Structure 1
Amino acid sequence: MQVKEWFSTWFDSPYYHILYAQRDEVEAAAFISSLQTKLRLPAGAQVLDVACGKGRHAITLHDLGLDVKAFDLSPSNIEQAQAFSTDRLSFFVHDVRNDLPVEWQYDAIFNFFTSFGYFDSREENQQAFKVLGDVLKIDGVFVLDFFNPSYVMAHLIEEESLVRGGIHFQIRRWESDGYLYKSIDFEDQGEVYHFEERVELISKNDFIAYAAQSGLHLVDLLGDYKLGSFDEKNSTRMIFVWVKK
Structure 2
Amino acid sequence: MQKEDEAWYASWFNTPYYHLLYKDRDHREAALFMNTLTSYLNLKENDSILDLACGRGRHSKYLSRRGFDVTGVDLSEESIAYAKQFENINLHFAVHDMCVPYPQKFDAVFNLFTSYGYFKNDIDNLRTIKSIKAELKPGGYGVIDFLNVKLAIDNLVPREKKKVGGITFEIEKYIENGFIFKNIRFNDKGENHSYTERVKALTLKDFQTFFKQAEVEIKAVFGDYHLADFDEKTSERLILIFH
TM-score by length of 1: 0.95
Alignment of 1:56-67 (within 5 A): 56-67=58-69
SS of alignment partner, residue 194 of structure 2: strand
**Matches of 2:124 and 2:144 in 1, distance apart?**
16
Structure 1's unaligned 5+ residue stretches are: none
**Matches of 1:119 and 1:64 in 2, distance apart?**
32
- Provide, for residues 121-160 of structure 1, a one-character-per-residue CA deviation record: whole Å limited to 9, x for no partner: 1111111111111111121111110000000001111110
Matched, 1:193 2:198: no
**Matches of 1:42 and 1:26 in 2, distance apart?**
21
| 2:147 and 2:237 in contact (8 A); partners too | yes
Residue range with higher mean Cα deviation, 65-74 or 204-213:
204-213
**Matches of 1:2 and 1:184 in 2, distance apart?**
15
Alignment of 1:206-225 (within 5 A): 206-225=206-225
SS of alignment partner, residue 208 of structure 2: helix
**Matches of 2:110 and 2:212 in 1, distance apart?**
17
**Matches of 1:2 and 1:163 in 2, distance apart?**
26
Structure 1 partner of 2:173: 173
Q: How much does 1:235 deviate?
A: 0.3
**Matches of 1:138 and 1:57 in 2, distance apart?**
24
Matched, 1:121 2:121: yes
**Matches of 2:23 and 2:107 in 1, distance apart?**
31
**Matches of 1:235 and 1:200 in 2, distance apart?**
18
Q: How many residues align?
A: 241
**Matches of 1:126 and 1:89 in 2, distance apart?**
28
Alignment of 1:23-62 (within 5 A): 23-62=25-64
Structure 2 partner of 1:151: 151
Structure 2's unaligned 5+ residue stretches are: none
Structure 1 partner of 2:92: 90
Distance 1:191 1:2, change over 3 A: closer
Structure 1 partner of 2:79: 77
Q: How much does 1:98 deviate?
A: 2.4
SS of alignment partner, residue 17 of structure 2: helix
- Identical amino acids, percent of aligned pairs: 38
Residue range with higher mean Cα deviation, 181-190 or 90-99:
90-99
